[in-house]
Structure 1
Amino acid sequence: MQKLTAFSISGLLLGAIFFALSLTPSLIPRNAYVQGILSGFSFTVGYSLSVLVRYVWKYLGVPDIPLDHRQRQILRGLIIILGVSLILVFLRQGTEWQNSVRSLMGMPAISGVAPITIGVVALCVFLLFRWAGKGFLRVVLRVSARLEKTIPPRVAALTGLLVALLLYWSVLNGVLLQSGLYAVSLIYEKLDLIVVANLPPPQDPSKSGGANSLLAWDRLGHEGRRFLSLGPSAEDIREVAGEGMDPIRVYVGVHSADTPQQRALLALEELKRVKAFEREILLIATPVGDGWIDPGAVNSLEFLYRGDVATVAVQYSYLPGPIVLFTDAQSIRTSARILFKVIYDYWEELPVNTRPRLYLYGLSLGAKLSEDSFQFYDVIDSPINGALWAGPPFSMRSWRMITDNRDPGTPAWLPQFKGGEVVRFGNQYGGYLGQKPWGRFRIAFLQHASDPIVFFDFRWAFRRPDWLERPRGPDVSPDLRWFPVVTMLQLLADFNVGVTPRDFGHRYSAAGYTLAWIALTEPPDWSEAELQRLRAKLKIFPKR
């Protein structure tokens, strides 16, 4: 039992080092609770790595340095003093490090990093993992001890390990995870079906969701009703551009039809009913997991084209993006592909000179699904006009390939690829540069240098990220350093994306989208004075 209860002194030292390094800055600011969780998990990882190395050391029969009891006690005391001192020094510096990130994002400085809160939360995290680890080890030891009477010890130990893994996986996956997902699904489905009083159906019966629509208002989902209700009107657009019309928006909820094919066909029929194919721009917008579409993306395009835009979106789930990606990844990809094919096949048959320009849009998971919705060889004979993908997640195939093979001398956070003939990158400050003319088919990536969803990668556990090379992105702290394993854990903690203001991290603004749409689509007849009025309008729009 001593082996299960005693602390590893080398583990405490490496854990303290990982704890201290976790206090250094990363891409976005962290509050005390997130920092505590990160530091506690970092300590646990460091401690566990040391214990694992120690186990392998003993397994290989490598002799320890000979020390008597008094020498071991002195060494233990020195290591504890060193670890505690290291943590205290880094905690003191933590305030300055966090403010180095906050200042770049225009956030107010903090006066301290709440070391007591961080310490208590970190301790709870470590003890929780230690408790789980001790339970796991008990299962391994008890099973192997029983089996050693009949089979060789090493086979018994391996069998005990497999039994413990199977038991823990069954509990986590079969009981906790499945039960949790079921409860979350019920909650989000009920929330999605709630029709709030301040989002009434359109008064114009011809509009999508109105009395003559093919889409029932109460089956569009909460995000669908918001999307159809809160867009700019012709009056809003005329206030900025002098002239304008009501944009067209079509949104099909997950409850509007039973299958992805039926929902896609319903979207097409509604588009035809509202004469969407007579507009200048047709946009297929792919939502994030729960059906949300960033309003700044669509609002900005509608203003730039004075309302001559039709946007279609189909909800594929009412669950948050990470959950739906984990539980139903193939289904949501299928939904995106079916919608694109149904719309594209009809669009392709229209006269080339009169059909709308066709663009795709997606943010985060929506960008990845938008990418997956078509293959280039499917559209090579009649290509769409382009795509705007914002906050592309690190798992996005085309983004990673292009970034890894960027033109020499261009930074990873704002790369150029093959002279910018097809693909260009931009951020909240501009970009979209290229040495070659931008072709007819265009892809624009809108990404902030401080976006952890974009720049996370498991490779950063053992490799320094390219985006840390100089020059760095303007919103990345100069104090950010790479540390093996710890930096990757920091980026995972940075997935708490809601703490940054817009234009930083994973929060994209209408102003950033405006720059992207101007570069991608080149809207005509916009003076700098009109663009200034547009930016001012988008800052306060929508009104509710």
Structure 2
Amino acid sequence: MSVLRALLRRVLTYFSHMPLSGMIGAGVLFALSLAPSLIPRNAVVQGILSGLTAAVGFWLGLALTWLWTFLGLAVPTGRARKAIAWAASALALALVAYSLWRGAEWQDSLREFLGLERLESVFTPIVLLVAVPVALLLREIGRVFSWTATAISHQLDRIFPRRVSLLIGIPLAAYLLMNLASGTIGRLTVQSLDAMFLALDQLIVEDLARPAEDLATGSTQSLVSWENLGRQGRHFVSSGPSREAIEDFTGSPAKRPIRIYVGLGAADTPEARASLALEEMKRVGAFDRAVLVIATPTGTGWIDDAAADALEYLHRGDTAIVTQQYSYLTSYVSLFLEPGYSQASARALFTAVYGYWTQLPADARPHLYLHGLSLGSSGSEQSMNLYMVLGDPIHGAVWSGPTFANPNWSMFTQGRNPESPYWLPRYGDGSLVRFTNQKNALDIPGAQWGPVRIVYLQYASDPITFFSSDLFFRKPSWLVGTRGPDVSPDLDWIPIVTGFQVAFDMAGASGLGPGLGHLFAASHYIDAWIAVTEPAGWTAADVARLKAHLNK
């Protein structure tokens, strides 16, 4: 009992020495972080988010107090100061209590809005158990920054006046710590994550057998070994509809779809992997098909089954899809840690394939398209030099779940027609690029496609598409005016907090089920591929039947 009493005394002493302004700031941002955003959060994720925002609120409260004093503004004293402190503390505690009471209800209301099941686990106690240690850890990291800034400014006091040395010391300390985080710590983090995902990638799932057909990538005759396909590559070449399955569904003759994949371990450089992919394409007859797609995978190397299956059914297997891996990390991690990898890999593969494709007779080569999901869409977007293909252009692209960092997507979205919403833009006359979501928006009255057709498939609830750094300080355009059909009416923009919320939403964006967030439904891919590739012989009834078949 005495041990518990001593421990409690230490805890109370620790918290009693924390500045009141910091505690109030922590309480306010902690409470606000429990509000709903784009994606529902479980208790653990919410706890980490709330701990982070509480730590930010703590240091923000201290910073505002310091700035007030630094500027020499009047400070209340005596009873007035105590009254203000008590009132602010009471309001912050009331806000925390109210948010904890409503937190689970807010998450459940968002889940119900999106058609998901309600939370079944205990929410509030887990949030607190996770948030408190996270906030305290980040507070201690902040103290290291504060100590560093103070030490630097004390050294500068010999040269500059005190206030000037502080103004120099604080950003200099931030610069040093950011370099440490992005350098040594960042490098170790990337290496650790890379090693972990590499171990997962090298797993050979026992129920996936090496293809027996010689023309299949990964077979004994293939230029790419089964082992070097990687986990995602083995899945890609082993899945998808067979010729018999397509014939059974369509009732007409079909071909066996061609899928070519080169894993990260097959060669040392993107250019070498691209050269290997081209030779494998020649070996299996990819250039003899009607439709050829250069696909850029997600960070883990995954190609969306829904996108590939939809294309192959629509063209009765007369297709070839080629791709190469560039990373093991999930897209939202790769997006921040290694964004250039997807672009370098996609550019190498496009250059190799396009260079060979242009040498073929125009009337005896396949139609050439691009495809990419998530970070793959970013790489695919930037894989081709517009001036290089101007004289002999590709036929189009289907890009799904574009990231907020996609330069072309950003250009089209920012330059949209004023009457169109940010989450579903219309660009120009619709002859080059069109956007769509859960409801097919590709049939624009009076619009005619040009020689190149580009479709972006995106959902308004996708944080990987709609995150931006100015979310921390400015209300986003996708919350102005009419909202997307999958964005909750209860979502309000909160300075600082909403930025952290949407950043955290990225981690769970693929777990909601097809048609929400960052997981795309086959039926929506069907609409996109039809608009871009115009497959022959499909009636509206046939398309509806295919959507039902692939959405099972």
TM-score, length-normalised on structure 2?
A: 0.90
- The match for 2:422 is 412
- The match for 1:372 is 382
44-53 vs 477-486, greater mean Cα deviation? 44-53
Q: CA deviation at 1:142?
A: 4.5
**Letter aligned with residue 404 of structure 2:** F
Alignment pair present for 1:51 and 2:58: no
Give the structure, 1 or 2, with the largest relative contact order (CA under 8 Å, sep 6 or more): 1
296-305 vs 511-520, greater mean Cα deviation? 511-520
- The match for 2:216 is 207
397-406 vs 110-119, greater mean Cα deviation? 110-119
Count of aligned pairs between the two proteins? 537
Kept in 2, the 8 Å contact 1:264–1:338? The answer is yes
Q: CA deviation at 1:113?
A: 7.1
Unmatched 5+ stretches in structure 2:
1-12
Kept in 1, the 8 Å contact 2:26–2:53? The answer is yes
Q: CA deviation at 1:288?
A: 1.1
Shift in CA distance, 99/3, structure 1 to aligned 2, threshold 3 Å: closer
420-429 vs 430-439, greater mean Cα deviation? 430-439
Kept in 2, the 8 Å contact 1:340–1:373? The answer is yes
Q: How does 1:161-180 map to 2 (within 5 A)?
A: 161=170, 164-165=173-174, 168-169=177-178, 172-180=181-189
Alignment pair present for 1:421 and 2:431: yes
Question: SS of 1:265's equivalent?
Answer: helix
**Letter aligned with residue 27 of structure 1:** L
Once residues 235 and 484 of structure 1 are traced to their aligned partners in structure 2, the CA distance between those partners, rounded to angstroms, is: 56
Q: How does 1:1-400 map to 2 (within 5 A)?
A: 6-65=17-76, 67-68=77-78, 70-110=79-119, 114-142=123-151, 144-145=153-154, 148=157, 153=162, 157=166, 161=170, 164-165=173-174, 168-169=177-178, 172-243=181-252, 244-400=254-410
292-301 vs 151-160, greater mean Cα deviation? 151-160
CA deviation map 1:266-325 (0-9, x unaligned)? 111111111111111000010111211111111110011110110100112233334445
- The match for 2:511 is 499
Shift in CA distance, 117/330, structure 1 to aligned 2, threshold 3 Å: closer
Once residues 87 and 183 of structure 1 are traced to their aligned partners in structure 2, the CA distance between those partners, rounded to angstroms, is: 37
Once residues 240 and 98 of structure 1 are traced to their aligned partners in structure 2, the CA distance between those partners, rounded to angstroms, is: 41
2-11 vs 16-25, greater mean Cα deviation? 2-11
Question: SS of 1:101's equivalent?
Answer: helix
Once residues 137 and 278 of structure 2 are traced to their aligned partners in structure 1, the CA distance between those partners, rounded to angstroms, is: 52
Question: SS of 1:507's equivalent?
Answer: coil
Kept in 2, the 8 Å contact 1:424–1:433? The answer is no
Question: SS of 1:389's equivalent?
Answer: strand
Shift in CA distance, 6/63, structure 1 to aligned 2, threshold 3 Å: farther
CA deviation map 1:313-363 (0-9, x unaligned)? 011223333444555444442221121011111111222222111110000
Once residues 462 and 134 of structure 1 are traced to their aligned partners in structure 2, the CA distance between those partners, rounded to angstroms, is: 25
Question: SS of 2:412's equivalent?
Answer: helix
Once residues 155 and 132 of structure 2 are traced to their aligned partners in structure 1, the CA distance between those partners, rounded to angstroms, is: 34
201-210 vs 222-231, greater mean Cα deviation? 201-210
CA deviation map 1:235-265 (0-9, x unaligned)? 1111211132210111111222222222112
Once residues 532 and 319 of structure 2 are traced to their aligned partners in structure 1, the CA distance between those partners, rounded to angstroms, is: 15
Question: SS of 2:322's equivalent?
Answer: strand
TM-score, length-normalised on structure 1?
A: 0.92
Once residues 238 and 425 of structure 1 are traced to their aligned partners in structure 2, the CA distance between those partners, rounded to angstroms, is: 31
439-448 vs 428-437, greater mean Cα deviation? 428-437
Kept in 2, the 8 Å contact 1:407–1:419? The answer is no
Shift in CA distance, 110/289, structure 1 to aligned 2, threshold 3 Å: closer
Q: CA deviation at 1:150?
A: 8.1
Once residues 260 and 453 of structure 1 are traced to their aligned partners in structure 2, the CA distance between those partners, rounded to angstroms, is: 25
Once residues 188 and 442 of structure 1 are traced to their aligned partners in structure 2, the CA distance between those partners, rounded to angstroms, is: 36
Once residues 181 and 116 of structure 1 are traced to their aligned partners in structure 2, the CA distance between those partners, rounded to angstroms, is: 32
Question: SS of 1:368's equivalent?
Answer: helix
Unmatched 5+ stretches in structure 1:
none
Percent identity reads 42
